[in-house]
Amino acid sequence: MQDVYPNLAGCIDIKLINADSIVNESDVIFTALPHGVAEKYADECIKKGKKLIDMSADFRFDDDEATFTKWYKESWKYPAVHAESVYGLPEMNRKKIAKARIIGNPGCYVTSATLALLPAIENGLIKFDPIIIDSKSGVTGTGRNPSIKNQFCECGESISPYAVGAHRHQPEIERNLSIAAGERCGVVFTPHLIPMSRGIVSTIYAQLNDTICEAAGAEINSKIIQRLYSDFYSDEPFVRVLPSGMVPATKNVRYSNYCDISVHVVHDGKMLEVCSALDNMLKGAAGQAVQNMNIMFGYKEDMGIDMIPPAF
């Protein structure tokens, strides 16, 4: 372990277990494997009464194989495990997660966008199409395999969009929003690569519904919507709705499981702009997976993930 991660020397003394026996020897399995590989472990977990939390996209689409296959070019070998899998976004599905055996842990961009939009969607504040999501991610988002894309001198001191109109997190965001809305939502999603290690900011633009705009002036709407967001997340341990006038920054959430959200009524009261920030490695991946485990096992929800962000 120390050879690959010298930072862990003296901290952790875990034996790597062969994948064949890992289900037998564990109560819960976290799988971070290429798309399409976790299915068989999920099947084994169900048969043996174990639980599985998967970090790939395999279980992010419930029983909708068509969408999964369209975007990930894989088909399913164990359809039954998908049918009972639960999408692991606690703020949407906490009760289902508590009873689940198979969890599809959400994508990092997806978490940042969904949390930012849930209060607006569920309260019918905005038009459902088009919702513009402009996201910016640190380089850990590209994975650990070295490539020209994540080489220091290529991505340092530069920013660029990528996968314009074609990123695989777009259908997952649309799915979440459509479930929340009860009707189809249409999303334009553009990710950007930023010269920093960790963190995602999503800046989101949607038109306010005419009834909202007409009901009150821009300033009043701003206060109402600010309050609505604060109330929506008041019991959530990991979502912080910022006070009016503040904006999120990834430095305030890095190394923690928090997602910070700010809401703004702009364009003379006609549009809602929401900004969210999270750590793509924690609330966007491993932290959320542990949060799901805590819910599944009835532990305190922030057990092991109550880190205070160090800011710098």
What letter would DSSP give residue 201?
E
- Choose, by CB under 8 A, the member of 19, 164, 216, 220 that binds a copy of itself: 164
Residue entry with tokens 């359809």: 79
**Contact between 173 and a copy of itself (CB under 8 A)?**
no
Stretch that binds a copy of itself, among 54-62, 83-91, 244-252, 291-299 (CB under 8 A): 244-252
Structure tokens at 211: 């009834």
> DSSP states of 244-288 as a string?
TT----GGGTTTSS-EEEEEEEETTTTEEEEEEEE-TTTTTTHHH
Query: How far is the CA of 243 from the CAs of 70, 203, 225, 247, 262, in angstroms?
Result: 41, 17, 12, 9, 7
Task: Name the minimum Å distance from CB 207 to a copy of itself.
Answer: 7
Question: What contacts 295, CB < 8 A, 6 or more positions away?
Answer: 90, 94, 97, 98, 301
Task: Name the minimum Å distance from CB 133 to a copy of itself.
Answer: 10
**Contact between 10 and a copy of itself (CB under 8 A)?**
yes
**Contact between 275 and a copy of itself (CB under 8 A)?**
yes
Closer CB to a copy of itself, 88 or 287, in the complex: 287
Stretch that binds a copy of itself, among 28-36, 160-168, 175-183, 289-297 (CB under 8 A): 160-168
Q: Is 108 a catalytic residue?
A: yes
**Contact between 134 and a copy of itself (CB under 8 A)?**
yes
Task: Name the minimum Å distance from CB 272 to a copy of itself.
Answer: 10
Q: From CA 302, how far away is CA 300, in angstroms rounded? A: 6
Residue entry with tokens 């799988």: 31
**Contact between 302 and a copy of itself (CB under 8 A)?**
no
- Choose, by CB under 8 A, the member of 11, 13, 73, 99 that binds a copy of itself: 11
**Contact between 124 and a copy of itself (CB under 8 A)?**
no
Three-state SS at 63: coil
Q: From CA 269, how far away is CA 284, in angstroms rounded? A: 31
**Contact between 24 and a copy of itself (CB under 8 A)?**
no
**Contact between 234 and a copy of itself (CB under 8 A)?**
no
Catalytic residue among 108, 155, 185, 275: 108
Closer CB to a copy of itself, 65 or 129, in the complex: 129
Site residues (CB under 8 A) for a copy of itself, limited to 186-225:
186, 188, 190, 192, 194-199, 201, 203, 205, 207
**Contact between 249 and a copy of itself (CB under 8 A)?**
yes
Closer CB to a copy of itself, 146 or 298, in the complex: 146
Closer CB to a copy of itself, 46 or 253, in the complex: 253
Report long-range pairs for 239-245 (Cβ below 8 Å, ≥24 apart): 239/91, 239/115
Q: From CA 12, how far away is CA 2, in angstroms rounded? A: 9
Contact 200, 135 (CB under 8 A): yes
**Contact between 262 and a copy of itself (CB under 8 A)?**
yes
Closest CA to 119 of 187, 171, 181: 181
Closer CB to a copy of itself, 9 or 17, in the complex: 9
**Contact between 34 and a copy of itself (CB under 8 A)?**
no
Residues marked active site are found at 108
